[in-house]
Structure 1
Amino acid sequence: MSIKIPKRVTTALINSLGAGVVPRVGLEHIAVGREKEVTALLQDLDNIGEGGGAFRFIVGRYGAGKSFILQLIRNYAMEQGFVVADADLSPERRLVGASGHGVATYRELMQNLSTKIRPDGSALTPILEGWINGIQNQVAQATGMRPNDEGFDDAVEGEILAAIKETEGLVHGFAFATVITTYWRGYRADDNTKKTAALRWLKADFANKIEAKSALGVRDIIEDDSWYDYIKILAKFVADIGYKGLIILLDEAVHLYKISHTISRQNNYDKLLAIFNDTMQGKAEHLGIYIGGTPNFLEDSKRGLFNDLAWKRRTTKSRFTKGFQDTSSPVFQLEALTESEILLLFQRLADVHAVHYSTEKTLTNDELKMFMQEVINRLGASALLTPGEIVRDFVSVLNVLQQNQDLTISKLLHSSGFSLTTNSKSNNVDNSEFAEFTL
């Protein structure tokens, strides 16, 4: 094949798509039909890297591509030198909640903190130690001293304190700076107790303020009402130590829409509005926030964001741009893929599959059209427009053909045992409330 993709990437693509989940790697090899959105998102990254903020809703029906776009942002951001954290909202992870639902989301984000050299999460310790090692190298080059020389650690500490001083002026910034200093001093003295305590605090693992005061000498802990303040501090900190900024990705915002208690739901929408205003008004530096949601979550006048006039004013499409997509808007309404784009998607999947199995045999354009027509005949043309389950079916077809070399796609599609995946969610009158596999 003409394309070259590492085996680990093709493995991840085929395994993920065959199981009906969005891959974490290799998305650029199968992305189709989202050129305008990608261009706008890359411009966001440029702006964030220069110190700005960004906030976007990625909105679409079941299977429209929300999760795919969020993962694409994640990969582009890491490649460009950002720190990235992602989490799926759920009944247990919200923005605020009486049982610590907000801080549960923060903990998930910290667990999934990733960088280019640590793309699978748990990057907090590598970020801190990489920064410290970098400062040690700078001091060594500037002074000619070696790590064991007298005065070397003092010089390093001076640079560290200077680097974190910028965060002290932010809300809760003094506590953050104190904890980072404690981590450095634990690193300097090879004191794992201090380092572990600092990491626990940064991950919001302290149960109460008394415990934090005893272990670290700080009176604050990261809680439901303050976790976003610490996200802003972290964005500022990582930018100051050499990264371009922090990108936060929150998927499955439909779970906020599903909150049955009206006041609890509104509290979450109010928290989201505060975050939106903060980033859009330039109060958050080097921070990008992307939220994946359904049309109901945004537009339902009874339970969605549009129930709040403040939200409706900020996110309603301009009356003068009907029929056009404004990619500078805070809302990306994902448009349906065309049949030609779906055909291109099938071709790319077939190519990836052939590369993975080191075979020259792949499906012809006519055979791809045959599969597409079979989908239309059995499920209707609308099924192609949200291809989540169709992609899963297509990968299964590729697998069966690879495992049965004498079998043709025509024989497979017209065999009595072949049936396309159907999903009860797609048969609901309004299926946009459900979590989805999206591509």
Structure 2
Amino acid sequence: MNINEGQQILRALHNGSVPAYEGAKYIMCGHEEERDAILEDLDYIKFKSNGDSHSGFKMIYGPYGSGKSFLCEVLKEEALKDNFVISEIVISKNTQLHNFETIYNKIMVGMRTNEFREFSAFRIIIESWIEKEKSEIISKYNLDPDDNEEDEEKLIARLEDKISLELAKANTTNVSIVNAVISFCTGLLRGDNTLAQKSLAWFAGDTNIPADIKRSIGVKGSVDKGNVFEFLKTLLYIIEKSGYAGLLVIIDEVETVRKERKDIRYQAYENLRLLIDMVSKDNLPGCYLLFTGTEELIEDEEKGIKEHDALYTRIEPIKLGDIRILEQPLIKLSRFDSSQLIEVSKKVRHIHGIVHGWNPESKISDEFIGEYVRSFTNAFGKEVSILPRTFLRNFIFILEAAKKEPMSKIKSLLNISEEQIEEVNKQIELYGREVAMEMEL
């Protein structure tokens, strides 16, 4: 870890956030078995040169503060380093699971690669594929499209034929999908960025494209529940041809569905069932779906997944006493405990020393950390589940103060202020425990 990475970790924790991508792995405590099980799944489903590719899914759930976000960040980093394309969706009022069109569009917008992490990488991905096909055609037919207009036209014509042939291998029968990819290619080669961008926008699920633009692209309609899986299969084929290992899609905060009215909940759970069926049958090769949610999503009889019998029977765990079988569809994460708070505190202390060039152990000893964790958890009735991010935010302050102030002042901070306790308790009283934990964590 370098100083810049350490600074990013400390800033994220200071703001009450989970460090993004690689930063999370440096302070991850616990859940190594769950991480390894999912990484093993990713290795199984990735594209194979012999065509023996698969798809899969897992649902991780647990209370707030159980480490779902940390685990997902670590998995994203590992997947990116293994040459996967990733995309993360957070279910909310603006991104609803009952609307397949929105989910597909969010997958496209959220796509990232190891090299391109700040914006949607889909254009880079499809351009990479087209560039490979273009180079092969130029080499095969000895064309010089840069200096010869006739060769340029030959290149475009042969490239359009090749794209049609390749998409046929992906079982893309939707003419509009084929035309959109070809129009993007043509726009790219002719320098018509408007055509290229509009073609890409349509393929990415943009539903606000005018009729005249659609005609110029050669498409009709848009992505919908009836054709969304053909769009996804085409997307996966392009990802494979571009040389990537597969696609990891994280669908976060699925428990939000519980807040919808009954008919919308049912449709959302039905869409979840359809997605699970598709990957369970290897109908989306190279794709892995990772869902996250709270305990209520799984255990709530009235508004949770149990409300949809067909869905629940597909993921219902087989109980073998206290034996955990991580190969099952559902993985429950345990609560964050005091020993993990101590462990993560030591890691954060080490990072703080690297970033600021000092020896924090000279003031913040292991004994001090243990005592601070005890005082913090006791202040909240030993309910560690609401503490991790709140605790770490305060611990960063302790480290900052320890670097500048004498130890006599630092020891006084072992007493958690009434204001801190009051603030969390007020949120619990006003909004309920679930919302209060969400606000704090």
Letter in 1 for 2:312: K
CA distance in 2, matches of 1:281, 1:427: 46
Equivalent of residue 109 in structure 1, options 102, 107, 110: 107
Which residue is equivalent to 1:57? 59
What displacement does 1:354 show?
1.8
Cα displacement (A) at 1:210 = 3.4
Match of 1:31 among 18, 24, 28: 28
Separation (CA, whole Å) in 2 of partners of 1:48 and 1:212: 38
Q: What is residue 16 of structure 1 aligned with on the other side?
A: 12
Unaligned runs of 5+ in 1: none
The residue number in structure 2 matching 1:93 is 95
The answer as to whether partners of 2:91 and 2:252 remain within 8 angstroms in 1 is: yes
**Which shows bigger deviation, 200-209 or 326-335?**
200-209
Residues 1:123 and 2:118 are matched in the alignment: no
Give runs of aligned pairs for residues 23-422 of structure 1, distance below 5 A.
Answer: 23-25=19-21, 26-50=23-47, 51-96=53-98, 101-138=99-136, 147-148=145-146, 150=148, 151=151, 154-155=154-155, 158=158, 161-162=161-162, 165-168=165-168, 170=171, 173-207=174-208, 210-211=211-212, 213-223=214-224, 226-259=227-260, 261-319=261-319, 321-362=320-361, 363-383=364-384, 387-404=388-405, 409-414=410-415, 419=420, 422=424
C-alpha offsets along residues 102-154 of structure 1, whole Å, 9 cap, x if unaligned? Answer: 43333333222110100122212222233333444555666665552553674
2: CA distance between counterparts of 1:79 and 1:22? 19
Contact 1:10-1:353 within 8 A present in 2 as well: yes
Q: Offset of 1:283 from its aligned partner?
A: 1.2
CA pair 417-386 structure 1, distance change in 2 beyond 3 A = closer
How far did 1:215 drift?
2.9
- The answer as to whether partners of 1:186 and 1:193 remain within 8 angstroms in 2 is yes
Separation in 2 of the partners of 1:433 and 1:330?
27
Q: How far does residue 18 in structure 1 lie from its aligned partner after superposition?
A: 1.5
Q: Aligned residues, how many?
A: 429
Range moving further from structure 2, 116-125 or 231-240: 231-240
Percent of aligned positions that are identical: 20
1:4-33 deviation digits (Å, cap 9, x = unpaired): 3241x2222122222122221311111111
**Which runs of no fewer than 5 residues in structure 2 stay unpaired?**
48-52
Deviation track 1:50-85 (CA, whole Å, cap 9, x = no partner) reads: 421111111011111122222222221111111111
2:129/2:238 contact within 8 Å kept = no
Secondary structure class of the residue paired with 1:291: strand
Alignment check: 8 A CA contact 1:84 1:248 kept: yes
- Give me the TM-score of the superposition, normalised by structure 2: 0.87
Contact 2:187 2:193 survives alignment (8 Å): yes
CA shift for structure 1 position 378 = 1.0
TM-score, normalized by length of structure 1?
Answer: 0.87
Q: CA deviation at 1:334?
A: 0.5
Instruction: Tell me which amino acid in the other structure corresponds to 1:31.
Output: M
Please say if residues 62 and 438 of structure 1, whose CA atoms lie closer than 8 Å, have aligned partners that are also in contact: no
Query: Is contact 1:56–1:330 with CA below 8 Å preserved after alignment?
Result: yes
